[in-house]
């Protein structure tokens, strides 16, 4: 755990895992992190489950803190979301993803990258135009960029989020529902949205080779999603057994440690050359 130790005599708010003084430090550090190039783009590969062909990857953020070292997103994305810094992080990530895509294109690699969006991003009416400008500036089409949204991020201000989502889809961007199965919304609701892809949360996938209950949840999610015309992606594939099981169930795409861990852009290029499936 790279998380700071709690200062025992300050108890401002017991509902927070990190006390408020640490949170405030982390937030001001995070503001600097963007300016001082402490953020890194990591990419986790995605493959076609039946052919094992490489399709692209998911862009994941890493923060190399000058004192605390590598900090994982689960430790700062929630704060970034609460304070609004997330908008700057998203802009940073979208720009880095476009730069990486332009590099790959130069190398003759026509792959796609998926970027995660948060609640605030989906309430930002300027986002579609900002993305259009970024793509144009890097000579990219909307085909190369995918956007991952969660059920939760849609729920904050559903009407506003839906307007943004519809604009993004109208531009031709590929949208995915992330962490499917962990939220409360139904496929019936999601079906009304212009999304193309459903990502089954890793908690259902990781142990499906050992847990029959998990396997049947994954199977019925795949069937239901296919009936609605959606592409299904399984995340959290940690061994070959699970990958084969998913292939039998007709799952389209896969992601997980067995295929490749999140890695820096350079390593991802090497992974692309070496991965034969």
Q: Contacts with Ca ion: how many residues (CB under 5 A)?
A: 4
Among residues 238, 247, 269, 275, which is the contact residue for ligand C2E, using CB under 6 A?
Answer: 238
Residues 162-201 that bind ligand C2E (CB under 6 A): 178-179
Which residue stretch of 63-71, 103-111, 213-221, 232-240 sits at the interface with ligand C2E (rule: CB under 6 A)? 232-240
As a whole number of angstroms, the distance between CA 128 and CA 165 comes to 9
Q: Does 231 bind ligand C2E (CB under 6 A)?
A: no
Which residue stretch of 69-77, 99-107, 135-143, 242-250 sits at the interface with ligand C2E (rule: CB under 6 A)? 69-77
Q: Does 202 bind ligand C2E (CB under 6 A)?
A: yes
Among residues 29, 44, 85, 148, which is the contact residue for Ca ion, using CB under 5 A?
Answer: 148
Q: Does 118 bind ligand C2E (CB under 6 A)?
A: yes
Q: Does 260 bind ligand C2E (CB under 6 A)?
A: no
Q: Does 257 bind ligand C2E (CB under 6 A)?
A: yes
Q: Does 256 bind ligand C2E (CB under 6 A)?
A: yes
Which residue stretch of 118-126, 140-148, 223-231, 262-270 sits at the interface with Ca ion (rule: CB under 5 A)? 140-148
In whole angstroms, the minimum distance from the beta carbon of 158 to ligand C2E comes to 19
Residues 6+ apart with CB under 8 A from 67: none
Among residues 23, 87, 90, 116, which is the contact residue for Ca ion, using CB under 5 A?
Answer: 116
Residue ranges in contact with ligand C2E by CB under 6 A: 44, 60-61, 72-74, 77, 93, 116, 118, 178-179, 202, 206, 235-238, 255-257, 262
């Amino acid at each position: 755990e790279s998380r700071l130790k709690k200062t025992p005599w300050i108890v401002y708010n017991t509902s927070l895992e990190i006390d408020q003084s640490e949170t405030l430090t982390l937030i001001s550090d995070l503001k600097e992190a963007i300016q001082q190039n402490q953020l890194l783009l990591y990419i986790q590969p995605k493959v076609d489950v039946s052919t094992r062909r490489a399709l692209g990857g998911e862009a994941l953020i890493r923060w190399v803190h000058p004192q605390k070292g590598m900090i994982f997103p689960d430790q700062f994305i929630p704060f970034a979301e609460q304070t609004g810094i997330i908008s700057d992080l998203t802009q940073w990530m979208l720009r880095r993803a476009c730069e990486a895509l332009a590099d790959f294109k130069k190398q003759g690699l026509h792959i796609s990258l998926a970027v995660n969006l948060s609640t605030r991003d989906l309430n930002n009416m300027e986002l579609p135009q900002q993305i259009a400008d970024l793509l144009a500036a890097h000579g990219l089409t909307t085909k190369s960029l995918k956007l991952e949204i969660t059920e939760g991020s849609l729920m904050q201000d559903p009407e506003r989020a839906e307007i943004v989502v519809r604009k993004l889809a109208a531009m031709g961007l590929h949208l995915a529902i992330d962490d499917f199965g962990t939220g409360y919304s139904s496929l019936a609701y999601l079906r009304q949205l212009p999304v193309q892809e459903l990502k089954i949360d890793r908690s259902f996938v990781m142990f499906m080779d050992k847990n029959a209950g998990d396997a049947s949840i994954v199977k019925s999610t795949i069937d239901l999603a296919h009936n609605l015309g959606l592409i299904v992606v399984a995340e959290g594939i940690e061994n070959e057994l699970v990958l084969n099981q998913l292939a039998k169930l007709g799952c389209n795409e896969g992601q997980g440690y067995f295929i490749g861990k999140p890695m820096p852009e350079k390593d991802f290029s090497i992974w692309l050359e070496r991965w034969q499936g």
